[in-house]
Amino acid sequence: MNILECKNLSKSYRKGVPVLWNLNLEIPAGKIVGLLGPNGCGKSTLIKLISGLLQPDSGEILVGGNPIGEHSKALISYLPERTYFNSWMKVEELVMYFEEFYADFDTNRAFKLLYDLGIDPKAKLKALSKGTKEKVQLILVMSRNAKLYLLDEPIAGVDPAAREYILSTIVSNYNPEASIIITTHLITDVEQVLDDFVFLSYGGKILNSGNAEQARAESGKTLDQLFREVFKC
């Protein structure tokens, strides 16, 4: 079963300049997928289209068999590239906000992950570093029992010492029937947890995709090396 299907998907911000053009993509349930590509290739645009924040010019998106709308949004947990919380709020207040807003939110999981990362629940967001704010946001997103997690650059501002924990513990402790789509520039750090990958080029063209382990075995190269080869200047 596919948790996500994108059919002939197109999106332009300016007339005649497509960000995505006739994109077709299928993501099975139970997979961690790296959506990888250079800046400006449409990764974030695709994530926003799937989450329902943007409307496509043409094409269709199905999440769990549902078109984008109330039912699809209930299945999605979305981490944007930038922190969007009010800085005056305390971390524990954000947890309570998510608990009230999302029926599938696991409060105990959120507090456990905060404890594991040494984040004080009583701290105000404005007192935290950029990387810690990103950790809080990722913890909240991953503490939902969603069917599709959309993570846009989840570890870009996180210190290297915390990345291994985040990837091995937070990203791995999710609903095994769900799928995660991760966009990132830090391919070396994230490829250890990827099941599949998609190399997205300008205009939404998929240059390569498939099983990450199989691609490494057949090429004798890491995904990062394959990426550099495909997108070399």
Tell me if the domain spanning 2-230 has CATH number 3.40.50.720: no
Mean pLDDT of 52-56: 94
Q: What is the mean pLDDT of residues 23-27?
A: 96
In the chain, % of residues over pLDDT 70: 98
pLDDT average, residue stretch 164-178:
76
Print burial letters for 34-73: b (CB count within 10 Å at least 16), e (below 16).
bbbbeeebbbbbbbbbbbbebebeebebbbbeeebeeebe
pLDDT at 174 over 80: no
pLDDT score at 133: 87
Summarised one tens digit per residue, pLDDT across range 180-222 is 999 988 898 889 899 999 999 988 889 999 999 999 999 999 9
> 16 pLDDT exceeds 80?
no
Region of residue 175 (left: phi > 0; alpha: psi -120 to 50; beta: else) = beta
The per-residue pLDDT for range 107-136, each reduced to its tens digit, is: 999 999 999 889 999 999 999 988 888 889
Please give the model's pTM, rounded to 2 decimal places: 0.93
Across the chain, what does the average pLDDT equal?
Answer: 90
Minimal CA–CA distance to 105: which of 65, 139, 72? 139
**pLDDT tier at 233 (50, 70, 90 boundaries)?**
low
Query: What pLDDT score was predicted for residue 184?
Result: 87
